[in-house]
Amino acid sequence: MRARRGGLLALALGVAVATALAVGLLGVAVDGAALGALVDGARSVPHEVALAAGCFLGAFALRARLWTRMAPGLPYSHALSGILVATGANHVLPLRLGEPLRVVSVVNRAGMAPGDAVSSTVVLRVGDILALLAIGLALGPGVVIDTLGWWGLPVVVLVVVAGLWALRMMARGMAAGRLRRPDAVTVIGTLLAWLAEGVLVWRVAHWAGTGLGYPAAVLVTAVAVAAQLVALTPGGVGTYEAAATVALVASGLDAGPALAVAVATHATKTALTVGAGLVALAVPDPPLYGRLRLPRRSGEASLPLPEPPGAGDIVLFLPAHDEGPRVASVIARAPREVAGRAVRVIVVDDGSTDDTAAVAAAAGATVVSHGTNRGLGAAVATGFRVGLEQGAAVVAFCDADGEYDPDQLGDLVDPILAGRADYVVGSRFGGTIERMKRHRRLGNRALTRWVAWTARLPITDGQSGYRALSARAAREAVLAHDYNYAQVLTLDLVKRGFRYHEVPITYRFRSSGRSFVRLPRYLRRCVPAVWRVVNDRQATN
């Protein structure tokens, strides 16, 4: 592990040094007067600037269309966003490390099969490289060979091998009808995309006052981009400028204006791709980084009505870990019946090291024990399972430490029995808080605002330990992790279309014992779990 970290640190340091040297040398070498004249020339023709930028970005739009031709099930908007994200990242990451983001984007956002995404991406990128080389060799073979040097041939061989491997990998997708083999349209479209990119070099050179022709500009594009295949620095800074300058000088430009054109062209490309890539991170929906909130709903009236509760009893279970001194009093305060239905009390003993299980059994509760401490989320999942096995019409639970009043069980289950809700939370902040430490009050308020924002609901207590679920909600609820259940349970049920409701309750801080919740650990475990629930495509009715 240390060796790996050392290698990554050395690589990062090497990239940083190479980038600093490249930028420094460019700053010293570039002709300031020539660069200033170029900028002034561009300012005088804003319509040309817009046209050149449009041609450059249009090349990526064309490549996205070619990708959807090869992968008919891939939406065009996601194909374009994947290409733009990867291209933008290539301009801020070394060694073209942005390329994997193209695959990640379409897999995570469009649901494309990973194998299809990888193979089609490699085929298209190999096609890009071979098209570049073909254009360069057709327009200026000597310039291409001189610029690429001795490493050009083995790189081309590796590219061809990668393309053949990817074509073979595509076979399964083609057999299933998900992918199509590249055809003449793909080849022609790839060539046209590079010809469109050449417009930018052509116009930048024109703004610099040179007489560079369009064919020469396309050659410069081919040489400069091909040289970036082995570039160490982000965006190939330094490599691009050197190769483009060589090609421009070979096309008849003086060294000073040639370097100014190369620098200005690369800077324009970087600005356009990074800007477009940043937009493509979020558009189309879902963003590359995943959803941060549940999708919008058309309103409460659009939700399906809760199923009428069955004829079963009400099960109240208490997750408990080392609550021997407190659990008996909580059990004693539980009502024997609610709305004419018997109440069964179950204690889920989560690997206690004290006499919790024995005390609970003596107090009249049914005890289900975990052999080891598995976490509150696991205890809640066990409570759901056991309650459903006993044929419960409603499954409710509260902490076993005395902070919540079991006598308020009727208030929690009433909306479910009345057919108004599937899932009810007892809100401490909507009711009465007899005592809560100030830092816990602030923390609960902040976390509740986050949960309410994420769920798009007026939630007033996101962490309450007193909740009730219909049998169907309890059956379909999924807890994403064992540490806790609060946010993930709410978001999972809301996302599945269950009706959420709150009732005010009374809360008093525990008089003895110690809470397991520690904010840094809580956030470290719960935030990723919430992200997974929000972005789980299958957690939807």
Region 176-181 average pLDDT: 96
- Burial string for 99-126 (b: 16+ CB within 10 Å, else e) reads bebbbbbbbbbbebbeebbbbbbbbbbb
**179, pLDDT greater than 80:** yes
**154, pLDDT greater than 80:** yes
**Domains within the chain, CATH numbers bracketed:** 2-282 (no CATH), 312-535 (3.90.550.10)
**512, pLDDT greater than 60:** no
More confident residue, 5 or 191: 191
Could you tell me the pLDDT band of residue 177, with boundaries at 50, 70 and 90?
A: very high
**480, pLDDT greater than 80:** no
The per-residue pLDDT for 290 is 86
Region 220-226 average pLDDT: 93
**Taking all residues of the chain, what is their mean pLDDT, rounded to a whole number?**
89
- Cα 406 to Cα 347: distance, rounded to the nearest angstrom: 13
Region 204-208 average pLDDT: 96
Instruction: For strands 337-338 and 366-370, give the pairing.
Output: unpaired
**459, pLDDT greater than 50:** yes
Instruction: Express each pLDDT in 248-279 by its tens digit.
Output: 999 999 999 999 999 999 999 999 999 999 99
Question: Rounded to the nearest 10 degrees, what angle do helices 255-282 and 239-250 cross at?
Answer: 130
Cα 135 to the center of its chain, rounded Å? 38
Region 131-142 average pLDDT: 94
- Cα 40 to Cα 17: distance, rounded to the nearest angstrom: 32
Instruction: Among 20-29, 204-213, 216-225, 418-427, name the one with the lowest average pLDDT.
Output: 20-29
- Cα 421 to Cα 343: distance, rounded to the nearest angstrom: 19
The per-residue pLDDT for 327 is 95
Instruction: Express each pLDDT in 367-425 by its tens digit.
Output: 999 989 998 889 999 999 999 999 999 999 999 998 999 999 999 999 999 999 999 99
Instruction: Express each pLDDT in 318-329 by its tens digit.
Output: 999 999 999 999
More confident residue, 481 or 173: 173
